[in-house]
Amino acid sequence: MGFGFYNPLESKVKEPLNPLVLPYMKAEKLLQNFKWSPIDQMGVNERITRIKSRSIKNEAKIQGLKMALNMIDLTTLEGADTPNKVSQMCYKAMHPDNSMQGLPTVAAVCVYPTLVKTAKKALEGSNVKVAAVATYFPSGQANLQAKLDETVYAIGEGADEIDMVISRGKFLQGEYTYVLDEILAVKEICHASNVRLKVILETGELGSLDEVRKASDIALQANPDFIKTSTGKIGQAANMPVTLVMLQAIWDHYQKTGIQVGMKPAGGISDSKTALHYLMMVKEVLGEQWLTNEWFRFGASRLANDILMQLAKQKTGLYQSAGYFSKD
């Protein structure tokens, strides 16, 4: 049975997909009697300060930088994106710097659905995944049918991963069941085609760490593959306090259910030192099993170049100029 709209995935899905009608009774049941406790803002800040006071040196730093490079979703999400720009970015994703031996690839490239096919062709034969934003990124201001249509289209074009946005307006109105219904619907499409799902909360629009924790817990009830901070399209993107709160939500969910969910901070992470602090935070809160690109990603467009600069400095003792490395 189809969705009642164009579905190019009929040959890919393993099982028939049921019609998706809101509201799901499942979402209402999942959120029944759910209670949230206020976040200790001072405790969060103290923990961040402690993590940022640490440093990594020498070989451990090199390994940390390579790990961070391998966790990047190299991203271009501009109205001016072209197939040529995406192809160039894909080459860099596979070959971050040909002058340095032993570098890993990035984890994925992230593009709009209309450019998925271009990215898929450019990355053929590599392990780099293609992620597509969907569900009317970045605003999420569309009805469910339109969001599902776009998700189906992106997967049909070859996307390995979908980065969806939640309906922040509904969330801020307290319509939590609606928000979870949408996530469950998109997840059903993704997982029927073995496509991983990342759920973007757009934390800069939520107003407080208490609301970030609440949105994280709601998204986690759907057991997505990742929760993600931001679209990168508003001024307030990823930061360490927000990410710490989301990591703690992931850990609490894992303790209750045994289900592992990944984390993706996105937007505003552009320097290696900050990236290493994030990795320290992940290890402290979640443990080493999350320190792979299967479970942790950076959504970034500039971070890769800074990591390459730092690796060159470790190798030669000299900083290369930022212009030495390709931007795409």
Encode pLDDT of 17-57 as tens digits. 444 444 456 788 888 878 888 999 999 999 999 999 998 88
Residue 242 covered by a domain = yes
Residue 103 covered by a domain = yes
Residue 8 covered by a domain = no
Residue 233: active-site member? no
User: Cα–Cα distances in Å, from 88 out to 12, 33, 223?
Assistant: 29, 50, 34
The enclosing domain of 113 has a CATH number of 3.20.20.70
State the pTM of this model.
0.90
Residue 163: active-site member? yes
Q: Which pLDDT does position 194 carry in this prediction?
A: 98
The β-bridge relationship of strands 72-75 and 161-165 is unpaired
Which of 292, 242, 283 has its CA nearest to residue 71?
292
Q: Which pLDDT does position 318 carry in this prediction?
A: 65
Residue 290 covered by a domain = yes
Residue 275 covered by a domain = yes
Tokens 């469910």 locate to 144
Residue 218 covered by a domain = yes
What are 173's two structure tokens?
A: 């109105």
How many Cβ atoms sit within 10 Å of the Cβ of residue 42?
8
Instruction: Give CA angle at 116 (111, 117), nearest 5°.
Output: 155
For the chain, residues with pLDDT lower than 70 are 1-25, 317-328
Q: Which pLDDT does position 284 carry in this prediction?
A: 97
Q: Exactly one of 92, 187, 214, 228 is catalytic; name it.
A: 228
Residue 252 covered by a domain = yes
Residue 73 covered by a domain = yes
Q: Which pLDDT does position 184 carry in this prediction?
A: 96
Q: Exactly one of 73, 97, 149, 163 is catalytic; name it.
A: 163
Q: Exactly one of 92, 147, 214, 264 is catalytic; name it.
A: 264
Q: Which pLDDT does position 17 carry in this prediction?
A: 44
Q: Who contacts 276 (Cβ-Cβ below 8 Å, separation ≥6)? A: 56, 61, 64, 65, 68
Q: Report the domain count for the chain.
A: 1
Its domain, for residue 110, covers 39-315
Per-residue pLDDT reduced to its tens digit, 85-108:
999 999 999 999 998 989 999 999
Q: Which pLDDT does position 322 carry in this prediction?
A: 53
Q: Which pLDDT does position 58 carry in this prediction?
A: 86
Residue 228: active-site member? yes
